[in-house]
Amino acid sequence: MKLAISGKGGVGKTTIAAALIKSFARTHHTVYAVDADPDASLAAALGIPEEVARGLKPVVEMKEIIREKMGDGTFFTLNPRVDDVLDNYSYRHRNIRFLRMGGIKRGGTECYCRENTFLAALISSLLLDRDELVVMDMGAGIEHLSRGTARGVDLMLVVVEPSRLSINTAYLVTELAADLGIQKVRVVGNKVRTPKEREFILNSFPAERLLGIIPFSNHILEASQEKGEVPEEDIENVLDEIREKIEKEAGGVPS
């Protein structure tokens, strides 16, 4: 099963991605955790120690491997074989294999065609060739997905908080996702403090698109201020419910 998580900045994508990945990792052999957001905070949220996380290079910066896989002449391959990169260069943490993608590179005069082709090949390998569980923490732009790779995504989870802006973004992301050919887009509400806020989110989406509403938790906020692992104690029940719905909607999870 391949899951992508998107939504407006700061709504809680990384927090929810980490909580879900940790939950999946308790019952599955391997979960690929992909940080596809250039600001990169998923490692800390998963409990990877800060000093280790700091040393984890985004794959787009792995010059040697890129040269080895892509060739360094004028011409380069458009279909590099990268399946071993996923095994050899992901960081193992419990049952989690963590990978930082890094952002798609754009330069003024410089061409980053090699880097970007390499990234695209990795994403394609993860989403289309593997049977494992993959969870990708993305930005609102979902720029790492293309028309080709998006069909590998079984479900895109869009996170919203009780704000009009985050809901507008959710509708935009839903349109983008549909254009790319992503099969299913579902919504999760987050950081909800009051019944009124809950109502606001409930009224913003058709019931069948909303998988659950996660309450605001001081423990979560405090842990992130210390760059610690996401604590699940306040959100356990609703997280289990969301996980169950994801598994049902995305057609089961490999063991």
The verdict on 224 binding Mg ion (CB under 5 A) reads no
Compose the 39-78 pattern: x for residues touching ligand ATP by CB under 6 A, - for all others.
x-x-------------------------------------
The verdict on 6 binding Mg ion (CB under 5 A) reads no
Nearer to ligand ATP, 148 or 231 (CB): 231
User: Which stretch, 10-18, 85-93, 167-175, 200-208, contacts ligand ATP (CB under 6 A)?
Assistant: 10-18
Own/partner contacts of 217-225, CB < 8 Å, gap of 24 or more, are: 220/15, 224/15, 224/41, 224/44, 224/45
CA distance 106 to 92: 30
The verdict on 236 binding ligand ATP (CB under 6 A) reads no
Nearer to ligand ATP, 204 or 224 (CB): 224
What DSSP string runs through 17-62? HHHHHHHHHHHSS-EEEEE-STT--HHHHHT--HHHHHH---GGG-
Give how far Cα 59 sits from Cα of 85, 88, 246, Å. Answer: 9, 11, 28
The verdict on 9 binding ligand ATP (CB under 6 A) reads yes
Beta strands in the chain (DSSP E): 2-7, 31-35, 91-93, 96-100, 133-137, 155-160, 185-192, 210-215
Instruction: Out of 14, 90, 149, 190, point to the residue binding Mg ion (CB under 5 A).
Output: 14
Residues of 150-165 as b/e, b for ≥16 C-beta within 10 angstroms?
bbbbbbbbbbbbbbee
The verdict on 197 binding ligand ATP (CB under 6 A) reads no
User: Which stretch, 7-15, 71-79, 123-131, 150-158, contacts ligand ATP (CB under 6 A)?
Assistant: 7-15
The verdict on 214 binding ligand ATP (CB under 6 A) reads yes
The verdict on 149 binding Mg ion (CB under 5 A) reads no
**Footprint on this chain of ligand ATP (rule: CB under 6 A):** 7, 9-15, 37, 39, 41, 190-191, 214, 216-217, 220-221, 224
**Footprint on this chain of Mg ion (rule: CB under 5 A):** 13-14, 37
